[in-house]
Amino acid sequence: MYRSGGYFVNSDRSARNIEWGPWVIGAMGAVLLLLGVARFFLRHRFDYIDALYCCLAIVPAGIGFIVIAYVVQHAKWVSLLPLFAAGVLLFSYPVFDVALGLTLLGTIAGPALREWRAKAPPPIS
């Protein structure tokens, strides 16, 4: 700590200590979601069946995300195969764009909301 113009400055709470991982994953999820929505918008077609496919594709997208995360941590060279498969699905199907975007956002939002709720003061009765 040092003194700067009458105020104590603590460098431990600076912007350099931001955890960038959740922000990057959240941004990737938002970009994929918006990319899928834009692709549906450019097709001029989005009906109930497409919405059902998007909801159902969340499960395989989540499983694929877990598999890719596991393989990247344990076998970096082998991770090229599931990453390639995910890339093919992303470029081929806008449903997978939306599903993977929602999966990534849900992966980040769940723990973030749980942490926020734990830090919130108790309600006044």
Half-sphere exposure at residue 103, Cβ-oriented, CA atoms within 13 angstroms:
19
Cβ–Cβ under 8 Å, residues 86 and 100: yes
Domain boundaries of the chain, sorted by first residue: 21-112
Q: Residue 11's pLDDT is what?
A: 55
Cβ–Cβ under 8 Å, residues 41 and 50: no
C-alpha torsion 99→105→108→113, nearest 10: -120
Please report which residue ranges of the chain form alpha helices under DSSP H: 20-43, 48-56, 58-74, 80-92, 94-119
Q: Residue 16's pLDDT is what?
A: 61
Q: What is the pLDDT along the chain (125 residues), one digit of tens a residue?
A: 555 555 655 555 555 666 777 888 888 889 988 988 888 888 888 888 888 988 899 999 889 888 888 888 888 788 788 888 888 888 888 888 889 899 988 888 888 888 877 886 777 76
Q: Residue 30's pLDDT is what?
A: 92
Predicted TM-score (pTM) above 0.85: no
Q: Residue 5's pLDDT is what?
A: 59
Q: Provide long-range contacts, Cβ within 8 A and 24+ apart, for 43-50.
A: 43/94, 50/95
